Amino acid sequence: MAYKRRLLKEMQTLLDLSIPGLKFIPTEDGINHWYVDINIVDNPIYDPAHAFRLEIVAGDEYPIEPPMVKFIGQEIPLHPHVYSNGHICLNILGDGWTPAQSIRSIALSIQSMLQGNTKNERPPDDERYISHAPQNPRSSGWVYHDDNV
Amino acid sequence: MNIPWEKTVFPEGCQLDSLVTCTICKEPFSAPVVSSICHHSYCSFCIRNSLSTKNSCPVCNVELLESQIVKVPVLEEITRWYTFNSSRLYALVKKLENPDPKDSTGDNAQPKDDEIKELVEVKFASELGPRKTSPSDDSLISPSSNSKYFYIPRKLTEQPDTKKQKPKRSRKTISGFITKKSTTSVPKKEIENQVVVISDNESVNENFSDGVVEISDYGSTSEYFGKKKEYHDVDGGGLKDDEKDKKIETLDEEKHDSLIVNNNDESNLLINSSNKKNSLQNFLKKTPSVLPSSSSVLSTTRDNSSSDDPGSKKLPKLNFSMLSVPKIKEKFKKYNIPTPTHNGNSKHHLAAYYNQYLVLWNSNLDSNYPISKAQISARLREWERIQNLDQHNQRLRQDFGEGNSTNNQQRKEYNRTGSRNWMNKYKDEFNELVRRAKESKARSKAGEVE
């Protein structure tokens, strides 16, 4: 973790931050491991009272490499880019990542991705993917082809 | 930096704070470089590290190669200046906000910086015996657990050389800030700090000057004032004697500006007292005569490495797929790279090791204040140590955590029971599979015949 100081700084700002619908929860696993509770308020697809839990783990190469991000918990939000095992098909979590982004920007992107969702469905290849998906979504080879949603 | 400018009367300070912050490491720039394509700036180390995985600008995603980044010496100086002076600037702004702590009895959040000044005074008082510039002093001295000390760069005073230099420069002349309006019966209108310069007299001794050095970065300030005393005297800037021969002086705004600029020079000298070439003044002198980067690096690293060191220029990238392990080791010798401590024969490790050294080395060449080769080697070893830990952890993770869940379960079982037990348990399934495979093979053969 060459950039430990950056993670510490991010932790400091995340704890002070107040963004409506986002709650950053530190874990006991270290400064590189976060939970984020996301509430979606103005989208009829999602229950505004229900918080979806996002797990964010910044690896040893962070911020040069993107962190590992997935939904966890009982309820995974319905979205054409979110698989039922919690994996998210989003380019900034893979090829689109740049070190200028941060844990905060990822959480905001995912929140707005759900906010703007109009389709109450899973990805078309959901079953096929989760049958052989690796534990870590970063190990999957993603193809970001669908820009409509 | 994390100076909370937004909570002061001068929230614009935030902008400067973020302008000198690298978007990758979120720290003030060290050896900043700029992209010649999109003109975004980063620390040399950060952007080289980032470009080693992906050739694009982290901010705008435009394609960017390592050869297209250029160093920006002036930005490095600006960053250094800000790093050294931001805490004092902050203290000054806070004081502007709240010039007289007596008036703001209801506002307890504000006068922290004044408390520092109080402590400076207390220090004076304790070492000099009773010394009051005004009767109201007692009421102002507040015993405080002082969070503001956090912002003072202690580095400035940790150099033992400062004490040696001190008598030479300040000639036992001592000064410090005093914050109270009440101390100043000075005719000039003062919005800025008042400065008390205590001239050399029988009650001031060396111990006292040491005391000043201990008080954090005010040590450097006092040195500056000590040097500049004559200037003020000549200027006749409202001198006033009290019963202890102290001259109280005020600074008008102009002088104050010059103070801040020049003071950086002073603090640089304090930090790099062994290497005075690093001062801002010298830097400013240097720039007009457009020196090539390599020569300026040579001039500053002379203490550490000989000037005819073949490694004083940038290292090239190597194509490791074309090189054998002995060839790589030859290159290491040629470039004078310390040999890796682990996995010395793994090509993969050697390549990663070389690339890390390349990033460290090349980014160091972009700095106005390069570190020594020994320090680079130390960082490289640290990287190697962490890398080794990572690999170890990854192996553990691969064995137990990651991978397809069912597959993983089977693997665990296999590990636990050994291959024979596993074979016994799944014998039926295995035989069934073999039978089916034979059947389908026979079927396809039969199909071919027909």
Residues A12-44 have pLDDT tens digits of 888 888 888 888 988 888 888 889 999 988 888
Looking at the predicted structure, is the pLDDT value of residue B137 above 60? no
Let me know whether B259 and B370 are in one domain: no
Looking at the predicted structure, is the pLDDT value of residue B33 above 90? yes
ipTM of the complex: 0.82
Let me know whether B194 and B82 are in one domain: no
3-state secondary structure of B418: helix
Let me know whether B339 and B426 are in one domain: no
- In a domain? residue B126: no
Give which of B216, B234, B212, B228 is closest to B260, Cα–Cα. B228
**Residue partners of A46: CB distance under 8 A and separation at least 6:** A40, A52, A77, A78, A114
Identify the band that residue B444 occupies on the pLDDT scale cut at 50, 70 and 90: confident
A49–chain B nearest CA distance, Å? 32
pLDDT at B403: 43
pLDDT at B139: 38
pLDDT at B285: 53
pLDDT at A53: 92
Contact indicator for B312, B297 with CB cutoff of 8 Å: yes
Cβ contact (<8 Å) for B26 and A9? Answer: yes
Let me know whether B239 and B369 are in one domain: no
Helices (H), B244-323: 253-271, 280-286, 293-301
3-state secondary structure of A145: coil
pLDDT at B345: 76
- In a domain? residue A138: no
Active site residues of A: 89
Q: Give me the domain span that covers residue A119.
A: 2-126
Tell me which chain B residues have a C-beta less than 8 angstroms from the C-beta of A63: 24
The mean pLDDT value for B221-228 works out to: 40
Give which of A94, A112, A104, A95 is closest to A46, Cα–Cα. A112
B284-287: long-range contacts at Cβ-Cβ below 8 A with a sequence spacing of 24 or more? B287/B73, B287/B74
Output DSSP code: residue B340: P
Q: B274, B304, B334: which is the final residue of a domain?
A: B304
Q: B353, B369, B397: which is the final residue of a domain?
A: B397
**Residue partners of A73: CB distance under 8 A and separation at least 6:** A52, A53
Query: Which run of H or of E encompasses B176?
Result: strand B174-178
A10–chain B nearest CA distance, Å? 9
CA–CA gap between residue A114 and residue A88 (Å, rounded): 11
The mean pLDDT value for B336-340 works out to: 83
- In a domain? residue A101: yes
pLDDT at B387: 77
- In a domain? residue A46: yes
B352-357: long-range contacts at Cβ-Cβ below 8 A with a sequence spacing of 24 or more? B352/B387, B353/B380, B353/B384, B354/B318, B354/B320, B354/B328, B355/B52, B355/B317, B356/B380, B356/B383, B356/B384, B357/B315
pLDDT at B426: 75
Question: Looking at the 3D structure of chain B, how many domains does it have?
Answer: 4
3-state secondary structure of B413: helix
Let me know whether B102 and B162 are in one domain: no
For A137, B60, B315, the CA distances from B67, given in Å and listed in that order, are: 34, 18, 12
pLDDT at B416: 56
**Of B38 and B383, more confident:** B38
Let me know whether B346 and B415 are in one domain: no
Give which of A47, A77, A94 is closest to A149, Cα–Cα. A77
A42–chain B nearest CA distance, Å? 31
Q: Which residue of B has its CA nearest to A140?
A: B403
> Chain B interface, mutation test: which of A135, A136, A144, most B Cβ atoms within 10 Å?
A135
Identify the band that residue B307 occupies on the pLDDT scale cut at 50, 70 and 90: very low
pLDDT at B234: 40
CB pairs under 8 A between A and B: 52
Q: Classify each residue of A41-71 as buried b or exposed e, where b means 16 or more C-beta atoms within 10 Å of its C-beta.
A: eeeeebeeeebbbbbbbbbbbbbbbbbbbbb
Tell me which chain B residues have a C-beta less than 8 angstroms from the C-beta of A6: 24-27
CA–CA gap between residue B115 and residue B121 (Å, rounded): 9
Lowest-confidence range among B76-80, B82-86, B206-210?
A: B206-210
- In a domain? residue A144: no
Cβ contact (<8 Å) for A136 and B402? Answer: yes
pLDDT at B251: 39
Residues forming a β-bridge with B41: B34
Let me know whether B367 and B321 are in one domain: yes
A4–chain B nearest CA distance, Å? 9
Q: Flag whether residue B404 sits within 8 Å of chain A, measured between CB atoms.
A: yes
Let me know whether B86 and B232 are in one domain: no
Percent of chain B topping pLDDT 70: 44
The mean pLDDT value for B273-289 works out to: 48
Let me know whether B172 and B299 are in one domain: yes
* Interfacial residues of A (vs B; Cβ cutoff 8 Å): 1-3, 5-6, 9-10, 12, 60, 63-65, 96, 98-100, 132-136, 139
Identify the band that residue B311 occupies on the pLDDT scale cut at 50, 70 and 90: low
**Residue partners of B164: CB distance under 8 A and separation at least 6:** none
B114–chain A nearest CA distance, Å? 27
Percent of chain B topping pLDDT 90: 8
Let me know whether B108 and B142 are in one domain: no
Task: Give the one of B54, B383, B404 whose C-beta lies nearest to A2's C-beta.
Answer: B383
For B36, B96, B174, B285, B406, the CA distances from A130, given in Å and listed in that order, are: 44, 62, 74, 65, 12
Q: For Cα atoms B268, B272, B277, give the angle at the middle one, nearest 5 degrees.
A: 80
Compute how many other C-beta atoms are within 10 angstroms of the C-beta atom of residue B56: 17
- In a domain? residue A137: no
Let me know whether B171 and B265 are in one domain: yes
- In a domain? residue B195: yes
Looking at the predicted structure, is the pLDDT value of residue A69 above 90? yes
- Give the distance, in angstroms, between the CA of residue B260 and the centroid of all CA atoms in the same chain: 20
**Residue partners of B55: CB distance under 8 A and separation at least 6:** B63, B64, B65
Output DSSP code: residue B177: E
Identify the band that residue B212 occupies on the pLDDT scale cut at 50, 70 and 90: very low
Q: Which residue of B has its CA nearest to A97?
A: B58
Domain harbouring A92, CATH code: 3.10.110.10
Let me know whether B141 and B290 are in one domain: yes
CA–CA gap between residue B270 and residue B320 (Å, rounded): 45
- In a domain? residue A139: no
Question: Looking at the 3D structure of chain A, how many domains does it have?
Answer: 1
> Chain B interface, mutation test: which of A12, A57, A70, A98, most B Cβ atoms within 10 Å?
A98
Cross-sheet strand order for the sheet of B32-35: B41-43, B32-35, B69-71
Looking at the predicted structure, is the pLDDT value of residue B211 above 70? no
Tell me which chain B residues have a C-beta less than 8 angstroms from the C-beta of A99: 23-24, 46, 50, 58
**Of A60 and B272, more confident:** A60
Looking at the predicted structure, is the pLDDT value of residue B396 above 90? no
Please give the sequence-ordered ranges of beta strands (E in DSSP) within B50-173, or none if there are none. 69-71
Q: Flag whether residue B403 sits within 8 Å of chain A, measured between CB atoms.
A: yes
Cβ contact (<8 Å) for A98 and B25? Answer: no
pLDDT at B381: 87
Q: Give me the domain span that covers residue B17.
A: 5-121
Looking at the predicted structure, is the pLDDT value of residue B422 above 60? yes
Q: B76, B93, B121: which is the final residue of a domain?
A: B121
**Helix (DSSP H) and strand (DSSP E) numbers for chain A:** 3, 4
